[in-house]
Structure 1
Amino acid sequence: MSSAQSLIDSGRADIVAGRPASVAHLFLERVAATPAGEAYRFPVPVDEHAADGAPGAEQWRSLTWAQTATRVYAVAAGLLSLGISPEDRVALMSSTRLEWVIADLGNMCAGAATTAVYPSTNADETAYILSDSGSRAIFVENEKQLAKVVGELGQLPELRTAVLFDGTGPVAGAPGLNVLTLAELEQLGAEYLEQHPDAVRRAVDALDKEQLATLIYTSGTTGRPKGVRLVHDCWAYQGRAQEESGLLRADDVQFMWLPLSHVFGKSLICGQIATGHVMALDGRVDRIIHNLPVIRPTMMASAPRIFEKVYNGIAGKARAEGGAKYKIFMWAAKTARDYARVTQANRIATGHDSAPLGLRVRHAVADKLVYAKIRTAFGGRMRGSVSGSAALAPEIGYFFAGVGVPVLEGYGLTESSAGICVNPAEDLRVGTIGTVLPGSEIRIAEDGEILLRGPGVMRGYHNLPEKTAEVLEPDGWFHTEDIGEIGQDGFLRITDRKKDMFKTSGGKYVAPSEVEGKFKAVCPFVSNILVIGNGRNYCTALIGLDESVIMPWAAEHGLAGKSYAEVVGDPKVHQLVDGFVQRLNGDLQRWQTIKKFTLLPRDLDIEHGELTPSLKIKRPVVERTYADAVTEMYAGANEA
């Protein structure tokens, strides 16, 4: 197979091959190596009666690796005292916070397997996941989350114990369910360790690399989600591969706000344990902007939508401040993109980040006027922000690269325990998803589908051997359903989802994500866009606008006091968006152009089931929800 069709990083494969059997082993190694080193930071409320405190105020505290180990061992021993056995499933349903990490590591050190459940999951699907996994215990964030479980106990005969992060328990209406607080579980564990001081060490020593470590249920767009079986070796591999690739370093401070029930966040915990760097945890999305200058991270992971919102927010603020400031921002944004493109091209050609003198001068001026403020908003020392789960529009990528906050696009799936490719910070290639992690392989099938193989690939879908056989070959190759190509430089590009590509009635193929990405690059008001056109005469789009950006514009254009739904229904806003659609169409092939569009009365969201927790659009759900709007856009299509 030619180098253009396959890709493997074997240079560091031997190092990765020497990994221990599990992340539990990695954790014990880390604690022994740097017991006094800072491990985790987390926010806590300040006592409102404190001299320097105020109601609602917070401060950040830390745990060392040794302090973390004390709590992890207590949780693990507490589970052992409750009769949890190797590979018993213990579910975890909580937002991102320190206790999530403590509970997950406690599970693994006890030999149990974590069933990850998003806190946004409804009661019915929560019950399905707990039943299908056979979970015997569950960690829940609070009594509101516990209520989902209590209401479905009749379907969960194996569930015996619930552990609350917040709240006091026990609760009414939960016969047969032993409800503890996390503190009570840790106390049980401490007492158990007094009698059996080597219990956790023995449990870790007994772990086998092929033993089940985690069940993560994919967010299915149709039908029930599938449980992805990830063994201990998957996570140990992720830890070592992220370390050896240089993605994470020992001197990093990583800000983790992503949901840890998602494979992306979970995998970065493994890399953090391998390198021993500091991780600051706070899953409250509305606190991201506030937290960044406080934490001052060097590394952060995110979904593309966050960077799009940041860009749109900066542009919207500049527009609101007046014509001169907006013109300066637009000039600076173009300069950033030009600078990033030129330096990237020269680096590829010569190995040096060079640019013509005139461009360097423009970039230096723009840096003082605009870029330095943006870097400060990110904390001032961000060396890279990893982006995954969906494609980042290249124009957005070039902008942040030029500003000095490089977005390192990567690639992976739940079925590959997240990362399989990532852009190196020292050789970022905007528009690609980077090079393969050490010890893994990628190849392109004859139809363009990306195939993966490596230690991080799942061992199958839980209780679904037929579904497993559909995607996992006997020799270990996993079918991703993504279409891509490998450049001569070894960088992988995704061109579309195999199942998302469609053909118009005229026989032309359209890659909707390509069109959607281009629109996000030209329209600063868009939040989400879904391009439609399978079997149709032409393409249309459903568009959700970013409320934080469109509402200030609306107030300045005679629409003050109106609701979001009223604003997007106003002809002025339709005309505004139409201008960006026409600009988009100018850069597309005729059969790709958007002939009609509908502005949605509200943006897409997780609560209505239109987005996955990682902010991917569930296309079938959205098309069903707005079927009437789609039908209207194609009314009279035969005459079009």
Structure 2
Amino acid sequence: MVTRIFDLLDNYQQHFPDKLSALVKKEDGVWISYSTQDYIRNSNLLAFAFLELGLKKGDRVISISNNRPEWNFLDMALAQTGLVHVPLYPTIGSKSYNYIIEHCKPVAIFVANESHYTKIQEAVDNQISVPKIYSFDQIKDVANWSTLLKLGAESEDHQKEKLVEIKNSISPKDLLTIIYTSGTTGTPKGVMLSHHNFLSNVLASAERLILNSSHKVLSFLPINHVYERMVNYQYQYKGLSIYYAESMDTIGENLQEIKPHGFATVPRLLEKVYDKIMTKGKSLSFFKRSIFNWAVNLGYRYELNRANGEWYEFKLKIARKLVFKKWQEALGGNILFMCSGGAALQVRLERLFWAAGIPVQEGYGLTETSPIIAANQSTWPDIRFGTVGPLIKGVEVKIADDGEILAKGPNIMLGYYKDPELTKQVIDEEGWFHTGDIGCMEDNKFLKITDRKKEIFKTSGGIYIAPQVMENKLKESPFIDQVIVIGEAERFPAVIISPNFEFLESYAKRKNIPYNSKEQIISNDRIIKRIWRELIKNNKHYDHPKRIKSMRLVTDTWTPETGELSPTLKLKRKVLREKYRDLIKDIYTN
């Protein structure tokens, strides 16, 4: 029975002992497979080595790595020995590394490559007690993880009984991991999750997963993030072959190579796929473009359960054959399952992908909820567009008087590491976790998210503005890559827009608008007026006091690397407001 994370190894041995491609990575242009037995063996050898080195149950170990099989070997070894895994994003800044290393005081740090090692060197050197550093790749003067495998093999005979003893002592309620939030506001918080937290989510969501051990999946979202990590465990529980993408830049190529049956994603990546397809569609000849536009417009009207009638379904069949088949091929041609989380998915994209025969299931949760609270399923009637679906098994939700979503269940975190006061602020005396999100239940079954409680603001006229709703609607425009709605305590709401320059440049060429730089293109009156038309169209959805009254275009592309987005591609509002302080001042003083 799977009650602790390392029980997944026994589950492998029992149900999938002969699987040759449990975990797969690409190295130097070649896909390298690790079998079930490789996975179990490497995890055990690392566990023996940790015991031999004297690491104790409860000690913290940090990992900074891309998605790869070695991460899993480490993760399972730590789980078996009662060590606490603290996985960090490779993209966070030195300030965050300094804080986290000081806060959790790790006994060891594992890095994937030299780039990661360089980033944490300074933070490690600042510590009184310097943790041991190991690397997955070969790095000069850094201990390689293979030395631990060797140590584990040498110490196996006299550590085997001790490992069994420690495993038997580990309770499902014991601390498994500390996941530091990406920190869109303030200092990162260390979310403590137990074996039971994660596995309650894994087992409940696995019941809904239509894939089985004959299928393969592509993993590319950061594995240290709670969402991809839970999905990674879910894949293992079901015995799927997990292929780890080389990087976020090679996703398209990797999809074509392995032709997976599913993957987890975030809305921003689906938006980019959509933008690329639409840009390509606009460059087609008149006849092909007409067919393309007809299919897309048909897709926007897609309804589940054949609700549009047989005539619509007949036209959709033609559209899939003429247009949408190529969309499927772009994703490898075998997609049966996509789950989307981390942020709100545009309803029109949800409809469009389903119309194209590419089912995408939106879900919802937080790091503190391990993570899933609710998720749409793959079949009617357990899916509804515009919602995040039914609650998963074992989870309860109630809506507070102010609209905040409160959750209770086996997935709720143990608390924030070293911060009981902050824990009390979010988990009340009755055990309800306060999510900070605003929402409602539709038909007493489907959870719908409307905004972030902390992001809702009031103008100086006392009008409440829900920025996320506006931003998601505005991002439906092909002209807009990212946008932030501002206006707290000001006379009116306004926006700062990071345009979709790939589309914008294509548009400028079609309209014979000259430009030599990004600065020139966003300063062009015709471009400004054209984007303003997108805002006018969007404003029709709101009462007059809530309408956008001003905008500014910027040349910056917002990314996690440049700091405007979190690693999960959410807006860092505080960072953006500070970055564009002068621009905001200009908006409200003119």
Letter of the structure 2 residue corresponding to residue 183 of structure 1: S
Amino-acid identity (%): 31
Give the drift of 1:463: 0.8
Matches within 5 A, 1:143-292: 143-170=114-141, 179-246=142-209, 249-282=212-245, 284-292=247-255
Letter of the structure 2 residue corresponding to residue 297 of structure 1: P
**Structure with bigger RCO (C-alpha 8 Å, 6+ apart):** 1
Other structure's SS at 1:424 match? coil
Determine if contact 2:220/2:248 at 8 Å carries over to the other structure. Answer: yes
Whether 1:368 and 2:351 are equivalent positions in the alignment is: no
Cα–Cα, structure 1 residues 274 and 442, in superposed 2: closer, same or farther, change >3 Å?
A: same
- 2:577 corresponds in structure 1 to 623
Q: 1:397 aligns with which of 345, 350, 360?
A: 350
Cα–Cα, structure 1 residues 31 and 512, in superposed 2: closer, same or farther, change >3 Å?
A: same
Determine if contact 1:26/1:236 at 8 Å carries over to the other structure. Answer: no
- 1:42 corresponds in structure 2 to 25
Q: 2:554 aligns with which of 593, 600, 622?
A: 600
Cα–Cα, structure 1 residues 118 and 571, in superposed 2: closer, same or farther, change >3 Å?
A: same
- 1:430 corresponds in structure 2 to 385
- 2:451 corresponds in structure 1 to 496
Cα–Cα, structure 1 residues 447 and 561, in superposed 2: closer, same or farther, change >3 Å?
A: closer
Matches within 5 A, 1:490-529: 490-521=445-476, 523-529=477-483
Determine if contact 1:515/1:592 at 8 Å carries over to the other structure. Answer: no
Letter of the structure 2 residue corresponding to residue 107 of structure 1: L
1:99 and 1:531 map into 2 onto residues whose CA distance is 41
Determine if contact 2:61/2:109 at 8 Å carries over to the other structure. Answer: yes
Give the drift of 1:557: 4.2
Determine if contact 1:256/1:283 at 8 Å carries over to the other structure. Answer: no
Give the drift of 1:479: 0.3
Cα–Cα, structure 1 residues 550 and 242, in superposed 2: closer, same or farther, change >3 Å?
A: same
Give the drift of 1:458: 0.7
Whether 1:31 and 2:13 are equivalent positions in the alignment is: yes
Cα–Cα, structure 1 residues 313 and 129, in superposed 2: closer, same or farther, change >3 Å?
A: same
Determine if contact 1:245/1:438 at 8 Å carries over to the other structure. Answer: no
Give the drift of 1:561: 7.0
Other structure's SS at 2:393 match? coil
Other structure's SS at 2:415 match? coil
2:121 and 2:321 map into 1 onto residues whose CA distance is 57
Q: Deviations over 1:108-158 (max 9, x none)?
A: 122211111110122231121112112110110112222233223343234
- 2:486 corresponds in structure 1 to 532
Q: 2:41 aligns with which of 56, 70, 80?
A: 70
Other structure's SS at 1:196 match? helix
Determine if contact 2:194/2:413 at 8 Å carries over to the other structure. Answer: yes
Give the drift of 1:193: 1.1
Letter of the structure 1 residue corresponding to residue 202 of structure 2: G
Letter of the structure 2 residue corresponding to residue 61 of structure 1: I
- 2:309 corresponds in structure 1 to 356
Other structure's SS at 2:379 match? helix
2:507 and 2:516 map into 1 onto residues whose CA distance is 12
Cα–Cα, structure 1 residues 109 and 159, in superposed 2: closer, same or farther, change >3 Å?
A: farther
Letter of the structure 1 residue corresponding to residue 361 of structure 2: L
Other structure's SS at 1:301 match? strand
Give the drift of 1:558: 4.3
2:573 and 2:546 map into 1 onto residues whose CA distance is 18
Determine if contact 2:124/2:131 at 8 Å carries over to the other structure. Answer: no
Determine if contact 1:245/1:437 at 8 Å carries over to the other structure. Answer: no
Give the drift of 1:336: 1.0
Other structure's SS at 2:314 match? helix
Give the drift of 1:555: 4.0
- 2:109 corresponds in structure 1 to 138
2:207 and 2:285 map into 1 onto residues whose CA distance is 48
- 2:530 corresponds in structure 1 to 576
Give the drift of 1:97: 1.9
- 1:408 corresponds in structure 2 to 361
Q: Deviations over 1:313-341 (max 9, x none)?
A: 11111112344433322221110121x23
Unaligned runs of 5+ in 2: none
Q: Deviations over 1:358-392 (max 9, x none)?
A: 31232122112210000111111212211111101
Other structure's SS at 1:410 match? strand
CA RMSD of aligned residues (A): 1.9
Unaligned runs of 5+ in 1: 1-18, 46-57, 171-178, 348-352
Q: Deviations over 1:403-450 (max 9, x none)?
A: 111221100101111112110011331110011111111111111110
Determine if contact 1:244/1:438 at 8 Å carries over to the other structure. Answer: no
Give the drift of 1:546: 2.5
**Equivalent residue pairs, number:** 587
Letter of the structure 1 residue corresponding to residue 292 of structure 2: F
1:536 and 1:283 map into 2 onto residues whose CA distance is 46
Determine if contact 1:247/1:424 at 8 Å carries over to the other structure. Answer: no
Cα–Cα, structure 1 residues 555 and 195, in superposed 2: closer, same or farther, change >3 Å?
A: farther
Letter of the structure 1 residue corresponding to residue 572 of structure 2: K
Whether 1:337 and 2:300 are equivalent positions in the alignment is: yes
Letter of the structure 1 residue corresponding to residue 362 of structure 2: E
Give the drift of 1:626: 0.6
Give the drift of 1:233: 1.3
- 1:9 corresponds in structure 2 to none
Cα–Cα, structure 1 residues 534 and 198, in superposed 2: closer, same or farther, change >3 Å?
A: same
- 2:60 corresponds in structure 1 to 89
Q: 2:586 aligns with which of 613, 617, 632?
A: 632
Other structure's SS at 2:185 match? coil
Cα–Cα, structure 1 residues 275 and 382, in superposed 2: closer, same or farther, change >3 Å?
A: same
Letter of the structure 1 residue corresponding to residue 231 of structure 2: L
Q: Deviations over 1:472-530 (max 9, x none)?
A: 12332100010000111501000111111122233322211111121122x11321111
Q: Identify the range of structure 1 (285-294 vs 549-558) with the bigger mean alpha-carbon deviation.
A: 549-558
Whether 1:440 and 2:383 are equivalent positions in the alignment is: no
Determine if contact 1:315/1:326 at 8 Å carries over to the other structure. Answer: no
- 1:99 corresponds in structure 2 to 70
Other structure's SS at 1:188 match? helix
